């Protein structure tokens, strides 16, 4: 035997870890998936888009950094540029900032972007204890704060819709079941995003899907959530289309507009704020789709997607409640779920006939 005798340490099994297991990689993938969308946003909206993105990302990163610096200080750590709780490397704040920025319309004033960004990450994430502890999606919270801030703080008289309503969907609000909406934008326009006003990242369904495909291939998100989400909106809209005698353009129009693609692929899939089991994620996606469609039908709010995500975020703990959670599908629960789906369609149709 060689003379060098290594030290024998004791641990508990398992002693191996999956190579490439990496939380940072997952967050970073979302950023990569959003690159084409961001570039397209800057291309179509110009410099103002770039500024919004820089400010939204910057505000979130800076807030998180300063927050942990202060926390370390309070715990008696001496100042280091890269402090003990340094978290920016994990791309979590960066991703939130980017997503947040992409949900904003291009004429949002920068100071509102910054203020809402700071408050958003602080209230939604940091005070809950940072990454993995938050209940609400920070980007969605920040996005809602923009509306609130704009309403309460903006000194000049602009309609709130001036910020929030400039999406293609706002035309449906005027004339709910009329094909006239498509006189403004064709489906192809909506799909490719060319010539569509709206939030920075919500315009090109094509690029959003491309990013989604990338995430699916890298298994960096749960593909069931967006599939169920978009699928549900499609099915509900399709049912309404049949009832009202509308064409296939109606459901297509619903899934291509109003940030549905964006929200479904990039916001609803945030693992921290979605349920933990496979079945619950399916139900979650369905519930999101249902709420979104109902909001669109009755509330005429362009932020239907954001609100449904925040509403459903609240219910994640109920999905995961230890007495109801199941990691497997079962025939009985599938049947219950199927009945809920049928019920949802009926409710939607009844609702639509009143609105129509």
Name the minimum Å distance from CB 146 to another protein: 26
Task: Candidates 172, 274, 292, 308: give the one binding another protein (CB under 8 A).
Answer: 274
Contact of 159 with 182, CB cutoff 8 Å: no
105: which strand partners?
199
What is the Cα–Cα distance from 268 to 261, expressed in whole angstroms?
10
Q: CA–CA distance from 92 to each of 43, 125, 233, 271, 336 (Å)? A: 25, 10, 29, 11, 36
Comparing CB distances to another protein, the nearer of 132 and 299 is: 132
Residues 23-42 that bind another protein (CB under 8 A): 23-27
Find tokens 């089991």 and name the residue: 277
Contact of 43 with 221, CB cutoff 8 Å: no
* 133 is a site residue for another protein (CB under 8 A): yes
* 2 is a site residue for another protein (CB under 8 A): yes
The pair of three-digit structure tokens given for residue 110, joined into one six-digit string: 């920068």
Name the minimum Å distance from CB 12 to another protein: 6
Name the minimum Å distance from CB 110 to another protein: 31
Contact of 125 with 60, CB cutoff 8 Å: no
Q: Count CB neighbours of 229 within 10 A.
A: 30
Name the minimum Å distance from CB 286 to another protein: 17
Comparing CB distances to another protein, the nearer of 199 and 269 is: 269
Name the minimum Å distance from CB 332 to another protein: 15
Applying CB under 8 A, the span of 56-64, 148-156, 317-325, 336-344 interacting with another protein comes to: 317-325
Contact of 24 with 89, CB cutoff 8 Å: yes
Residues 275-304 that bind another protein (CB under 8 A): 276-278, 281
Comparing CB distances to another protein, the nearer of 253 and 284 is: 284
Show the binding pattern over residues 219-248: x = contacts another protein (CB under 8 A), - = does not.
Answer: xxxx--------------------------
* 13 is a site residue for another protein (CB under 8 A): yes
* 72 is a site residue for another protein (CB under 8 A): no
Half-sphere exposure in the Cβ direction for 245 (13 Å, CA)? 1
Name the minimum Å distance from CB 227 to another protein: 14
What is the Cα–Cα distance from 22 to 219, expressed in whole angstroms?
12
Comparing CB distances to another protein, the nearer of 97 and 165 is: 97
Residues 327-356 that bind another protein (CB under 8 A): 327-328
* 107 is a site residue for another protein (CB under 8 A): no
What is the Cα–Cα distance from 293 to 237, expressed in whole angstroms?
8
253: cis peptide before it, omega within 30°?
no
Q: How many residues touch another protein (CB under 8 A)?
A: 49
Angle 288-289-290 from CA coordinates, rounded to 5°: 95
Residues 156-185 that bind another protein (CB under 8 A): none
The pair of three-digit structure tokens given for residue 347, joined into one six-digit string: 């409710």
199: which strand partners?
105
Note the residues at the interface with another protein (CB under 8 A).
1-2, 4-27, 90, 130-133, 218-222, 271-272, 274, 276-278, 281, 320, 322-323, 325, 327-328
């Amino acid at each position: 035997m060689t003379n060098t005798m290594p030290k024998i340490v004791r641990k508990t099994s398992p002693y191996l870890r999956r190579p490439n297991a990496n939380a940072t990689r997952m967050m970073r993938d979302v950023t990569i998936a959003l690159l084409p969308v961001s570039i397209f946003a800057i291309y179509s909206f110009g410099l103002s888009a770039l500024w919004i993105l820089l400010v939204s990302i910057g505000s979130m990163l800076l807030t998180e950094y300063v927050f942990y610096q202060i926390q370390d200080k309070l715990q008696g750590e001496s100042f280091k540029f890269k402090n003990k709780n340094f978290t920016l490397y994990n791309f979590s704040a960066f991703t939130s900032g980017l997503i947040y920025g992409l949900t904003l319309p291009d004429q949002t004033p920068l100071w509102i972007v910054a203020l809402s960004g700071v408050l958003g990450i602080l209230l939604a994430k940091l005070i809950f204890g940072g990454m993995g502890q938050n209940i609400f999606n920070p980007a969605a919270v920040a996005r809602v704060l923009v509306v609130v801030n704009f309403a309460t703080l903006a000194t000049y008289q602009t309609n709130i819709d001036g910020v929030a309503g400039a999406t293609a969907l706002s035309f449906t609000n005027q004339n709910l079941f009329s094909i006239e909406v498509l006189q403004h934008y064709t489906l192809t326009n909506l799909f490719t995003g060319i010539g569509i006003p709206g939030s920075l990242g919500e315009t090109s369904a094509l690029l959003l899907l491309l990013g989604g495909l990338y995430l699916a291939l890298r298994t960096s998100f749960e593909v069931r959530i967006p599939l169920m989400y978009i699928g549900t909106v499609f099915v509900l809209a399709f049912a309404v289309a049949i009832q009202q005698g509308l064409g296939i353009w109606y459901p297509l129009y619903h899934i291509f507009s109003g940030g549905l693609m964006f929200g479904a692929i990039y916001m609803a899939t945030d693992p921290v704020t979605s349920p933990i089991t496979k079945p619950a994620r399916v139900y979650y996606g369905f519930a999101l789709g249902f709420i979104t469609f109902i909001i669109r039908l009755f509330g005429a709010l362009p932020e239907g997607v954001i609100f449904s995500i925040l509403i459903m975020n609240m219910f994640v703990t109920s999905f995961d409640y230890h007495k109801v959670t199941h990691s497997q599908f079962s025939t009985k629960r599938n049947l219950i779920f199927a009945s809920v789906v049928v019920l949802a369609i009926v409710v939607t149709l009844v609702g639509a006939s009143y609105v129509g």
